[in-house]
Amino acid sequence: MLKAKELGVLGERVAVENLISKGYTILEKNYRCNLGEIDIICRGNNLLLFVEVKTRKSLNCGYGQEAVTAKKQGKIRRVASYYLYKDKKLSTEVNIRFDVISIIIKEKNRVDIQHIEGAF
């Protein structure tokens, strides 16, 4: 039985693999600053993506994307703004998008991935 932290780490690894398979280059994983954290920052197709990953073992607590509340979205936006401020070149080169990847780990080798592009 996976603990919450292990489940999150596994979910983020699955999300990274999914993004790479779609042609994105991972720039940051678990980017932290004093304003908060963004799970994955990646780029590709003239886009800079800020991705929140939510992983569940079942739907008992609802879909992962339901946990990305307006308050959480605001926090992610503030961290993204800080990230862009620190690297001003990035913000002028690409379009920005906020995505959510919701993962349900049904069994050890079976996962369902829902990638919500432009989630907020």
Query: What is d(CA 73, CA 89) in angstroms, rounded to the nearest whole number?
Result: 24
Return the CATH class of domain 4-116. alpha beta
Q: Is the whole-model pTM more than 0.85?
A: yes
- Describe the chain by its helix, strand, coil percentages, rounded to 5: 40, 40, 20
Q: Does the pLDDT at position 91 exceed 90?
A: no
Nearest to 56 by CA among 117, 118, 100: 100
Q: What percent of the chain has pLDDT over 70?
A: 92
Domain boundaries, the chain: 4-116
The pLDDT assigned to 120 comes to: 93
The pLDDT assigned to 89 comes to: 66
* CA angle (11 as vertex; 31, 83 as ends), nearest 5: 15
* Average pLDDT of span 2-17: 88
- Name the residue with higher pLDDT: 45 or 39: 39
Q: Tell me the Ramachandran region of residue 54: left when phi exceeds 0, alpha when psi lies from -120 to 50, beta otherwise.
A: beta
The pLDDT assigned to 2 comes to: 67
Q: Does the pLDDT at position 52 exceed 80?
A: yes
- pLDDT tens digit sequence for 16-40: 999 999 999 999 999 999 999 999 9
H or E element: which one contains 56?
A: strand 47-56
* CA angle (13 as vertex; 62, 120 as ends), nearest 5: 50
